[in-house]
Amino acid sequence: MALRTLASLGSLAGKRVIVRCDLNVPLRDGVIADDGRVRASLPTLNTLINAGARVVVCSHLGRPKGEPDPQYSLAPVAQRLSELLGKPVAFARDTVGESAHEAVAALADGDVAVLENLRFNAGETSKDDAERRAFAEQLADLGDALVSDGFGVVHRKQASVYDLAEILPSAAGLLIEAEVDVLDRLTENPERPYTVVLGGSKVSDKLGVIAHLLPRVNRLLIGGGMMFTFLAAQGHKVGASLLEQDQIDAVKGYLADAAERGVEIVLPVDAVVAASFSADADHVVADATALEDTPFGASGIGLDIGPRTAETFAGAIAGSRTVFWNGPMGVFEMAPFAAGTRAVAQALTEVDGLSVVGGGDSAAAVRQLGFTDDQFGHISTGGGASLEFLEGKKLPGLEVLGWA
């Protein structure tokens, strides 16, 4: 079955349309550090505004404990949304209370209001079906239809994502539609050569996606903190680098499976090793087979792929027709250890085909390193949701919209 799209809702003029966005942006001292997710919501919101809908935006931000917490208020997001839309955006000081009802009642056709953080109510994330449903019923009182457009939360069975979509006429927004289209292309008949680049800190976070993609890809490039578990699985010492000892046997299994399938797993041939986890720590480039043969000995920490590896990875990416990348190659937040991530990002911008940045830290990295969204085929807004989709898992927030 296909996703229900906006067209399935018919005319929305004059109707109160709740839009479940993912506006979970990073805040520093109350200021938005990266507004990528806010910008990603604009196509759907503008479509509804132009259709004459009365738009009620809801989202979570951070991990409050089911009660109001000022540091997680969506007020700065509402302000940024107003700037980006070029029109006033009302802000309700609560989610389903008096302020929310007043803000929604005051909307005219084409107006927009933002509700306060959904997770200020424990019912949003409750594991108790009845408690979650009760909160969804309260939300439903504020709208005539739901447009689900928060791809970053579709892997969660939460009140605004799942239950509300059962209660109100519901459809996917343009963002979710685009995300599903791209990720489906990564799993069903991708153009070849097909390369997947995986980084980030932990192998355990990526085991499912490795298992699901191995039969589908031509090559797998492994960087980031997870590379040290792969190197250890090959018998190499990794000093004080991040190592998941309990995953070594699983990694050995994947290496054997890849060899049997003819899938090329490309591991780093060198790494940047530092004396400590610090931006100003002494650091050197070492061969991947000799990470402890540095002035730092067994206490050295690998914090980035090395220059020869970056060049190899860039070449493999450039020669591909389809590339999916999830997870930075090193501690990109520190300038001395950002070169590997920058090289991979640059290579993705030059792919003659489909290049996909898989959300989360990867999306933050490309923006922090000075790349723009339009340099890539697609930047996903949902790291965890993207990975679960690529693992072949059922995502409740998509299933409730008709995806099967």
pLDDT digit string, tens, across residues 322-334: 999 999 999 999 9
Phi-psi category of 200—alpha, beta or left, where left has phi over 0 and alpha has psi -120 to 50?
A: left
Given a cut of 90, whether residue 112 has pLDDT beyond it is yes
Mean pLDDT, range 270-284, rounded to an integer:
97
Mean pLDDT, range 4-8, rounded to an integer:
97
**The pair of three-digit structure tokens given for residue 374, joined into one six-digit string:** 């339009």
283 forms bridges with which residues in the sheet?
Answer: 274
User: 36 catalytic, yes or no?
Assistant: no
**Residue 122 amino acid letter:** A
- Which residues line the annotated binding site? 22-24, 37, 60-63, 119, 156, 206, 302, 333, 359-362
Residue 8, burial from CB neighbour count under 10 angstroms (0-12, 13-18, 19+): middle
Residue with the larger pLDDT of the pair 14 and 404: 14
Among the listed residues 235, 229, 240, 311, the one whose alpha carbon sits nearest the alpha carbon of residue 270: 311
Per annotation, catalytic residue among 321, 384, 393, 402? 384
Q: What residues contact residue 348 under an 8 Å CB cut-off, 6+ apart?
A: 317, 323, 325, 355, 357, 376
Pinpoint the residues of the chain covered by CATH 3.40.50.1260.
6-178, 190-391
- Which residues line the annotated binding site for (2R)-3-phosphoglycerate? 37, 119, 156
Q: How far apart are CA 376 and CA 223, in angstroms?
A: 20
Q: What residues contact residue 220 under an 8 Å CB cut-off, 6+ apart?
A: 195, 196, 197, 198, 210, 213, 214, 258, 263, 264, 265, 266
User: 384 catalytic, yes or no?
Assistant: yes
Residue with tokens 């790291």: 383
pLDDT at res. 1: 62
pTM confidence score: 0.88
Looking at CATH, the fold of the domain delimited by 190-391 is given as Rossmann fold (3.40.50)
User: 157 catalytic, yes or no?
Assistant: no
CATH superfamily of 6-178: Phosphoglycerate kinase, N-terminal domain (3.40.50.1260)
Phi, psi of 113 (to 5 degrees): -130, 145
Per annotation, catalytic residue among 360, 382, 383, 397? 360
To the nearest whole percent, how much of the chain has pLDDT over 70?
Answer: 100
Q: How far apart are CA 193 and CA 72, in angstroms?
A: 43
Tell me the residue ranges of DSSP E strands in 52-193: 54-58, 90-91, 112-114, 145-148, 170-172
Given a cut of 90, whether residue 392 has pLDDT beyond it is no
What does the pLDDT look like over 172-206, one tens digit per residue?
999 999 999 999 999 888 999 999 999 998 888 88
